[in-house]
Every structure is written in C-alpha cells, then in structure tokens.
Chains A and B, each alone.
Chain A
C-alpha cells in the first residue's frame, strides 16, 4: 500500500465533472488491460517459445535409422504425453461395461494388474512418467487425477501399484518383457515397431528438424507407398545427440488429428534417483501375486485364438490383411442380439456386400475389419475398399 501523493488534492479540485467522469471510467481500463495482457501472453508465449527449428547438420534417412538402432540410452527420466484417437468410443467406460461383470466375478481381478491397466492407454490423452536406469530398473507411471498407477521393474521384481485403490500387483521379471510388448508407451517403443515395418513398400525421408522437450531433433518421416493403407504417415522426432526417439506421431490417410501422438514433454538423460525404483507394498495394501490370478486370465486369450482356423496374411507391407475363418456364423446383427448391445453393434459396423457375399465392416480411424456373414474375418490397417477387394479375391 503506497501512501497517497498529496498533490492529488489540488489537481482534484481543478478537475471538472466531465474529466472526473472520464477518469472514473478509465479505472475500468485496468481490469480490461489485465485480461488483454493475459490473453496476449497465453496466445504469444507458446509462439515465442517455439523458437523455430534448430539448425542441425544434414543427415540421410539411412544414417538416422542407424542412429536410432545404435542408440543406447540406459538412463533417462521424463514425462511423456500420449494421445490416442482411434475414433472409438471411450474404452474406459466400454471396458467396464463389457468386462466389469466378468472380471469381478472371475477371480477378484486386481485393479493393479498391468494388463487391465495399460489397456486404458488405448484411448484419450494420458500423461506418463518414465524412468530407466539400465536394463534392470524401469518405472512407468500413469498420472491420473489425484492418483497414479506405477509399474516398477527392479531386478527380478515387477510391481504394479494403483494408488487409487491402494492395490499392489506383484510379478517376476520374465513377465515384464511380455507386458512391455503388449503396450508400447514411450516414443521409442512406437518407433521401434514402426521401423520394423519399413521395407520397399515404404518411403523413409528426413524432413527437417524440430524441437522436442527442449532438445534438438531430426524428423524422420515414414510413409507407406500403397494407397490402400489407412496410415497416412508416421513422423518420428529423433534426438540429434543420443538418437533416442522423442516423439512419435501417426496420422491417418483420411486426414484429421493424429491417431497416435506420443512424445516427451520433458526429458533428462541423467541417472534417476535410486529410490525411484524402490517399492515396498504399503501397509494394508491388497497384494495380488501374478501366479495366483493373473496368469490363468492372461492365457485365456491365446487359447481362444488357437481355436480359430488358420490365420493367413494376404499381401505384404502396409497393405497386408490378416484373415481367418471363425468357422461359424458371422457377427450377429443388432436385431438378433437385441437391446442396447445390439444397437451398439449396428452403430459400429457398416453393412457391405460384394462378390464374396455380405458382411459388416467395423471401422476405426486406423484399423478396419470386415466380418463376412459366412464367418470370415479380414483385418488390416487398410481402407474399406481394400478389405472388400481382398474378400472378393479370396472367393
């Protein structure tokens, strides 16, 4: 609180009513100005912070891929933001509706079980924290509202801790490798998967540079050459110094927002504190051992798949379509199932017909599946037309 200037009083006496009125109105300029400055700051600061693309020595796509392969980052910690938009209804609610009853009656499924938890990453935006110190110590945490799900690998122990329900999942290290494959979370996981698909049906280019999480990076663009693919292009930002993929973006050929966008918002290559990887189950937390309940549940899936008639892959590269015969009837139509679930089925699928007969196409923004009425299934990251063509060709 500043003291008043005493000369104000003389000025005030001179002022006439009109000027006083103006001066009164002028005070409202202050809040308006504050709003204006705030709006300008919100609008401008990201633009200013985006200091343009860094200047880096030219590099060929081949060299960049080798750099990624040679990248041997053992120690890092950072924050990853991952946004997935497959064009599906929210999995969270859906998963509950379909599996809620089953998993609760079937053996007390722990909410700290990684396989249940990591599927939630398939839709929406999530913030993850990752930390790694060599091959034996890793930690991935999914940040939730006032809660967190952590998956900690330390030596031969794998701990899952769900702070919301205070439940703990405990497994052994062999299993952790499997879980990692199930759910790619870091940009590196995604990039590795994408590079596996690189062959002569793909064009790979280096498209300038970018700044990711405050680090200079090359942009590697992977584009399928086939038109039938729903994958528009994949952009991987590769850290110029370490060769570590920092950001992964998959845009569909239909345009629009990225289907998968996973990138570091903050990253450090320093050794994380050792205590990060220490975990002791909190007092009173419910601990689920992997062997007792999770393993049988996990195995159920493959067994069911094994019952299907042989799985074939038609075509190669990005256009490849997996096909198998369920041997039975196709998907029941909505009216047969009836009720809400039937309506839901109908709303998901498109009826199509062709030389192969009739079927239903289930579409997402990336993966489409055609299930014919005689029970054959065609699945691939390809357009609806390509699926119909494949089905016709198979006849």
Chain B
C-alpha cells in the first residue's frame, strides 16, 4: 500500500485525541516537518558514528585486499580454489569498481540493516523515551503524518547509508586499484561508464532492500516507549531471520524472509540482467513495508501517548 492510500484510510478516531484544529494551522508547509526530522536525525552523533562505521568497511576491505595481493598473488590465491569471502572479491584487484559491489555485499547482511534498525527503532520510541513525543504531537501535524515523516526519514537514511558505503568504496577502489572497462560476471565486457551506472543502480536496489527492515523497525518502535528496547528488538529480529535463513529444513519459509533475496543485487551484474530474484526481492520489501507500515500506523494512531 502506498503512503497516499494509508493516509486516505485514516481519519476519524485519530482526531478525537486532539482539539479540533483550525484549517489555517493545518496548512503547515509539508516540507518543514520532514526537513526538521532529517536535520534532527543527521545531526545526532549516533547517526554520524553509524555512517562513519559504514564508510570504514570499504576502507578496511580495500586495504586488506591490497596487502594480501601486494606480492602479486590473487585473492585467496594460495588456497587454490579462490572464491572465499564476499562476492566479487576476486575481481577487486583488477578493477577498483568491483570494490563497490564487494563492500555492499559485505555490509548488506549485517552492518547496513543494523544501522537502519538503530535509526528506525529509535524513530518513535526514542522520542517517547526522551519525553518529546507529545510535544511533536502538539504540533498540528497529525499522527499519521508524523509517522510517514519518520518513515521517510528512515528511508532517506537507507539511501544515504548505502551511498556512503558505495562512494567510500569507489574512492578507495580508485585510489588503490586500477579502474577501466570491466567484465560482467557473465563474462561479457562493459565500459567503465556503464559499470558506474550499474553500481549506482545496485546502490539503489540495496537501499530498497532495506525498506522491509525499516518498516519492521518503525513498527517495533511504536510498540514500546524505550528506544533501546526497540533498537535491540529490531536488530535481534534481524539476526534471528538471518540465522533461520541458513537452516535448510526451513526452505519452504525462507522465500518470505525479508533478507532472503538481499544478495540478488548481484544479478544486475549479469549480462543480460537476470530480473527474477530482483523482482521477488523488491516485491517482498514492498510487502513488508505495507504490512508493518500499516501495523505501525494502526498502533501509533490508536495508542495513548503518555510520554
């Protein structure tokens, strides 16, 4: 369900909690609330620290590969088989652009969703914890709009976090390794410009892969008044699902885990692109966003705000 539909369904009961507002006050510029939220979120030290950690991952990976291959050998060359480590790692030494894909593959299973979990879990519960939630609601924005704004902020963080990883990886890759035309995993050649385009597309797909976690985190955040509890629950759920996704006996359930198709972003590096799993991934994320988004809405618009 799109945000527009969500807000169209709401109305009625929610307004009972507030004094009937006058029309003039309601027309607060839309952007203001969102801009304020963005500023608040991105000015927090916690957010900046998370982004710094994410930016550090490609640097570490890049330096590690550089050191390991400085004697001229390939990655994992001594072990014969190669192919260990995150996806694309064996191509990085020949083309720095592959560090972008390696870094995203390395951060997507844990670092990125954990960062999202922290921001999303904190979104509502953190305000309640700090006692600022009721002041936010005093502003004539309405609970649905506040929730949507919070979700938009978390989504913005998803995109920013992914781009931070990608850009840091691109910078490190360009510094340490040669750049140039690259070979897709299907063995065909594409130009560097097209490779960059695909890298950008992959970053967007990775960001979109996180919408499910973001919605889940936001829902958990509406359940509790403690920011820490919400963050811990979200990250805990994330780890649980990742573990369950590894258990072969659960293969019937696994296609419905939000993390199941995460690595399908690599399919964008095939030639021609293999859309099957990418579509499944995006569909699944949309489903999670709809289910937990509407659950968060149902919870948030009906709960008593005491803090």
Query: Which residues of B are found within 8 Å of A279, using beta-carbon distances?
Result: 187-188
- Which chain B residues (77-106) contact chain A, with CB distance < 8 Å? 80-83, 87-88, 90-91, 93-95, 105
B12-20, B52-60, B121-129: which lies at the interface: B12-20
Given contacts A9-B15, A276-B188, contact A282 B82 (CB under 8 A): no
Q: How far is the CA of A282 from the CA of B186 in the complex (A)?
A: 11
Are A5 and B188 neighbours in the complex by a CB distance under 8 Å?
A: no
A346 to chain B, nearest CB (A): 24
Contact B142 A4 (CB under 8 A): yes
Query: From A161, which residue of chain B is reached at the shortest CB distance?
Result: B187
| Nearest CB in chain A: distance from B254 CB, A | 13
A146 to B101, CA, bound (A): 10
Q: Are the CB atoms of A284 and B94 closer together than 8 Å? A: yes
Complex: chain B residue closest to A152, CB-CB: B187
Interface string of A257-290 (1 = CB under 8 A from B): 0000000000000000001101110111110000
Residues of B within 8 A of A165 (CB): 76, 81-83, 90
Chain A CB within 8 A of B270 CB: yes
Contact B94–A282 (Cβ < 8 Å): yes
Q: A20-B16, A27-B302, A28-B295 are in contact. Are A285 and B94 (CB under 8 A)?
A: yes
**A11 proximal to B (CB < 8 A):** yes
Q: B188 touching A148 by the CB < 8 A rule?
A: no
| Cα(A305)–Cα(B6), bound, Å | 70
* Bound: A150/B189 CA distance, A: 13
Q: By the criterion CB–CB under 8 Å, are A146 and B105 in contact?
A: yes
Instruction: Evaluate contact between A5 and B11: CB separation under 8 angstroms.
Output: yes
Q: A150-B186, A282-B183 are in contact. Are A164 and B12 (CB under 8 A)?
A: no
- B142 — which chain A residues lie within 8 A by C-beta? 4
Q: Which residue of B lies closest to A277 (CB)?
A: B188
**Stretch binding the partner chain, chosen from B111-119, B239-247, B286-294:** B286-294
How many residues of B sit at the interface, in one of the four size bands?
Answer: 35 or more
Asked, given contacts A4-B11, A35-B291, A147-B83, whether A278 binds B188 with beta carbons under 8 Å apart, the answer is yes
B233 → chain A closest CB, angstroms: 18
Across the interface, name the chain A residue whose C-beta is closest to B182.
A282
Minimum CB–CB distance from B81 to chain A (whole Å) comes to 6
A301 at the interface (CB under 8 A from B): no
Decide yes or no whether B30 CB sits under 8 A from chain A.
yes
Indicate with 1 or 0, residue by residue over A1-24, a CB within 8 angstroms of chain B CB atoms: 111111011011101000010011
Q: Which of A9, A27, A147, A285 contacts B301 (CB 8 A)?
A: A27
Distance in angstroms from B202 CB to nearest chain A CB is 11
Selected from B3, B13, B95, B105, the residue in CB contact (under 8 A) with A1 is B3
Q: A30-B297, A152-B187 are in contact. Are A2 and B26 (CB under 8 A)?
A: no
How many angstroms from the CA of A163 to the CA of B270 in the assembled complex? 10
| Whole-angstrom distance between the Cβ of B216 and the nearest chain A Cβ | 12
Contact present for B295 and A31 (CB under 8 Å)? yes
Count, A-B residue pairs, CB within 8 A: 154
Q: How many residues of A sit at the interface, in one of the four size bands?
A: 35 or more
**Contact present for B23 and A283 (CB under 8 Å):** no
Let me know if A83 is at the binding interface, CB within 8 A. no
Interface string of A132-168 (1 = CB under 8 A from B): 0000000001010111101010000001011111110
Residues of B within 8 A of A9 (CB): 15, 20
Q: Are B91 and A111 closer than 8 Å at their CB atoms?
A: no
Whether the Cβ atoms of A11 and B287 lie closer than 8 Å is: no
Question: Are B87 and A147 closer than 8 Å at their CB atoms?
Answer: yes
Is B252 engaged at the interface, CB distance under 8 Å to the other chain? no
Q: Which residues of A contact B74 (CB under 8 A)?
A: 166, 284, 286
Residues of B within 8 A of A35 (CB): 291
Asked if B68 CB lies within 8 Å of chain A CBs, one says no
State whether the Cβ of A108 lies closer than 8 Å to any Cβ in chain B. Answer: yes
Q: Given A152-B187, A163-B187, A283-B94, answer yes or no on A146-B82 (Cβ-Cβ < 8 Å).
A: no
Given A23-B13, A31-B292, A143-B270, check contact A164 B90 (CB 8 Å).
Answer: yes
Chain B residues with CB below 8 A from A24, complex form: 13, 302
Contacts of B66 in A (CB 8 A): none
State the Cβ distance, B174 to closest chain A Cβ, in Å: 16
Is B253 located at the chain interface by the 8 A CB criterion? no
Q: Is the CB of B274 within 8 A of A143?
A: yes
Expressed in whole angstroms, the minimum distance between the Cβ of A313 and any Cβ of chain B is 39
Within 8 A of A (CB), among B1-38: 1, 3-4, 6-13, 15-16, 20, 23, 26, 30
Indicate if B185 sits at the interface (CB-CB under 8 A).
Answer: yes
Interface string of B133-146 (1 = CB under 8 A from A): 00000000010110
A148 pairs with B12, CB closer than 8 A: no
**Pair B13/A15 contact, Cβ less than 8 Å:** yes
Tell which of B145, B180, B295 has the most Cβ of chain A within 10 Å: B295
- Beta-carbon contacts of B184-195 to A below 8 Å, as 1s and 0s? 011111000000
Is B82's CB under 8 angstroms from A27's CB?
no
Tell me if B176 is interfacial: C-beta within 8 Å of chain A.
no
Chain B residues with CB below 8 A from A284, complex form: 74, 93-94
Check if A34 is an interface residue, CB within 8 A of chain B: yes
**CB–CB A164/B82 < 8 A:** yes
A38 interface hit (Cβ, 8 Å): yes
B263 at the interface (CB under 8 A from A): yes
Inter-chain CA distance A148–B83, complex, in Å, is: 11
Q: Which of B20, B87, B287, B295 contacts A38 (CB 8 A)?
A: B287
Tell me the minimal C-beta distance from B267 to chain A in angstroms.
8
In the assembled complex, which residues on chain B have CB atoms less than 8 Å from the CB atom of A178? none
Interface residues of A, Cβ cutoff 8 Å to B: 1-6, 8-9, 11-13, 15, 20, 23-24, 27-28, 30-31, 34-35, 38, 79, 104, 108-109, 111, 127, 129, 141, 143, 145-148, 150, 152, 159, 161-167, 275-276, 278-280, 282-286
Ranked 9 nearest A-B pairs via Cβ: A165-B82, A146-B87, A146-B266, A27-B298, A163-B185, A284-B94, A282-B183, A31-B295, A24-B302
Question: What are 26 A-to-B residue pairs whose CB atoms are below 8 Å?
Answer: A1-B3, A1-B148, A2-B8, A4-B11, A4-B15, A9-B15, A13-B16, A20-B16, A23-B12, A23-B13, A27-B301, A28-B299, A34-B1, A104-B81, A111-B81, A129-B274, A141-B270, A143-B270, A147-B87, A147-B185, A164-B90, A166-B82, A278-B188, A280-B183, A282-B95, A282-B182
Besides A150-B187, A161-B183, A284-B93, 15 more A-B contacts (Cβ < 8 Å) are A2-B8, A3-B26, A4-B11, A27-B298, A27-B301, A30-B6, A30-B295, A31-B290, A129-B186, A141-B186, A146-B87, A146-B263, A165-B81, A280-B183, A282-B183
